[in-house]
């Protein structure tokens, strides 16, 4: 799995900034002439999820998500062996009506890791394996379980 995370971090369209910053950059990039789909990838707040953000010709920002797993990447319920294959799938199909229908029917994972546990103790852990200073939120479930007993 570390190889897949390294592939993301070294990908030329990867951005380490938060989603909102990346969206603003895409809006600016859309103003320049392009022959291809302007897009970026950035980390989701949930560990092992990515945002795949792109801007349409009409200027609308579309945010989709991708999951990193041990076998590669899961995008649109399809397993891809590598990031490039998932990106090629996007570039080939994003204008297809079935693709658009799928997007409308899917909801991205919540930015909150465990929203139903509002009083869960959250711990920030520095994720050293990416070298980006990315903070990931983890829920201290053990404390919740022990307080219930």
pLDDT digits 0-9 by tens, 80-127: 999 999 999 999 999 899 998 998 888 888 776 544 444 444 434 434
- Please give the share of the chain, as a percent, with pLDDT higher than 90: 48
pLDDT of 54 over the 60 cut:
yes
Give the pair of three-digit tokens for residue 73: 């990447």
pLDDT confidence of 148, banded at 50, 70, 90?
A: low
DSSP per-residue string spanning 94-118: TTSHHHHHHHHH--PPPSSSSTT-T
Average pLDDT of the chain?
Answer: 78
Domain boundaries, the chain: 2-105, 112-149
- Name the more confident of 24 and 127: 24
CA distances from 23 to 11, 52, 70, 83, 94 (A): 18, 10, 28, 20, 18
Quote the radius of gyration of the chain (alpha carbons, Å): 17
Q: Model-level pTM greater than 0.85?
A: no
pLDDT of 6 over the 70 cut:
yes
Looking at residue 33, its pLDDT comes to 84
Fold of 2-105: SHC Adaptor Protein (3.30.505)
Looking at residue 106, its pLDDT comes to 84
């Amino acid at each position: 799995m570390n190889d897949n995370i390294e592939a993301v971090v070294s990908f030329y369209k990867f951005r380490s900034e938060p989603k909102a910053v990346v969206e603003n950059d895409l809006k600016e990039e859309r103003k320049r002439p392009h022959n291809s789909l302007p897009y970026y990838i950035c980390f989701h707040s949930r560990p092992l999820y990515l945002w795949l953000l792109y801007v349409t010709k009409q200027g609308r920002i579309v945010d989709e998500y991708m999951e990193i797993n041990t076998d590669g990447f899961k995008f649109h319920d399809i397993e891809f062996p590598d990031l490039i294959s998932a990106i090629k799938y996007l570039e080939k199909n994003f204008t297809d009506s079935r693709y658009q229908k799928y997007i409308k029917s899917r909801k991205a994972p919540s930015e909150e890791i465990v929203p139903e546990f509002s009083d869960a103790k959250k711990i920030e852990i520095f994720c050293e394996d990416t070298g980006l200073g990315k903070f990931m939120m983890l829920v201290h479930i053990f404390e919740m379980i022990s307080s219930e007993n």
